[in-house]
Amino acid sequence: MANRVIALARSSHPGPTIVVTVVATVLGVAVSYSWWRLIVLGLVVLCGQLSIGFSNDWLDAGRDAAVNRRDKPTALGQISPAVVRRAAFVAAAASVALSLLLGPPAAIANLLCFGMGWAYNLGLKSTLASIVPYLLCFGLLPAVATLGLVPPRMPAAWVLAAGALLGAAAHLTNVLPDLEDDRSTGIRGLPHVMGARASGIAAFVCLAVAGGLVAFSEGSLRNPLLVIGFALGLAMAVTGIVLTLARRPTRLLMRLIMAGAIVDVVMLALTGTSMLA
């Protein structure tokens, strides 16, 4: 039983799931959520991200087994795709139901947000539009938090843009270690067409620009911590580009993007209500 639970947890893509949930929670803190709304927001995003991770491993089970993916519990036979499929639908339903507690605008934004993840898993990953779900999902994530306010508020345009850029960076680096396996199973998204080096460089440029949008947004320069955060993010971006050019892509690139995203969202939290439109 314990092994099955561990296998299911691994099928959720725990790293990105935790990072995105932390990002959403920090955004809730930034816009002064009450404690109970903050808990609800965290659970809404957590369940949505779990559903994306589970659906990915369920839908890709055959392809993962074909290329002997050692990091996929379904490919290793540690858990059946049917169990992961049920978990995906349960998590999706929980995210939708809980989001209603934040109000209809936030519920709609949340549905669009994790719905984009499902659209990617269901087929967009194999097209040149593979980046679109990431742009929309990450771009809309701040809106899930701000539209849960009473009254609902939209995020500023630069916040939406920064989120979308982080989504682009996540997509372009997430698939890099799997490019050859993906090609052999018929997956040909935008990063496959661009190639590993171009995708890696573009990803870290997106990370740097996202940090710049947050650090140099209107009035933000009054807080030197934002400039320090931008410098840290820029160092990560430069490191990522150097690694992209110097060696074969690994999961380290995606970890750098996730670390940069956390830096950016902490910077965003420091801007406070200026992130609202």
Residues of the chain with pLDDT under 50: none
Its pTM surpasses 0.85: yes
Q: What is the pLDDT of residue 142?
A: 94
CB 176 within 8 A of CB 198: no
Q: How many Å separate Cα 190 from the centre of its chain?
A: 17
Specify the residue for token string 């320090």.
228
pLDDT (0 to 100) of residue 217: 79
Helix (H/G/I), strand (E/B), else coil: 187: coil
Helix ranges, 60-127 (H): 61-66, 81-99, 104-122
C-alpha–C-alpha distance, residues 100 and 82, integer Å:
28
CB distance 177 to 252 below 8 Å: no
Short-list 72, 96, 95, CA closest to 84: 72
Cα separation, 43 vs 93, whole angstroms = 12
Helix, coil or strand: residue 31:
coil
Q: Give the model's pLDDT for residue 91.
A: 96
Bond from prior residue into 81 cis (ω within 30 degrees of 0) = no
- Let me know if 38 is exposed, middle or buried by CB neighbors in 10 A (0-12, 13-18, 19+): buried
> Domains of the chain by range and CATH?
2-275 (1.10.600)
pLDDT in tens, 80-133: 889 999 999 999 999 999 999 999 999 999 999 999 999 999 989 889 999 999
Q: In sequence order, what DSSP letters do the residues of 126-161 get, joined into one string?
A: GSTTTTHHHHHHHHHHHHHHHTTSSS--PBPHHHHH
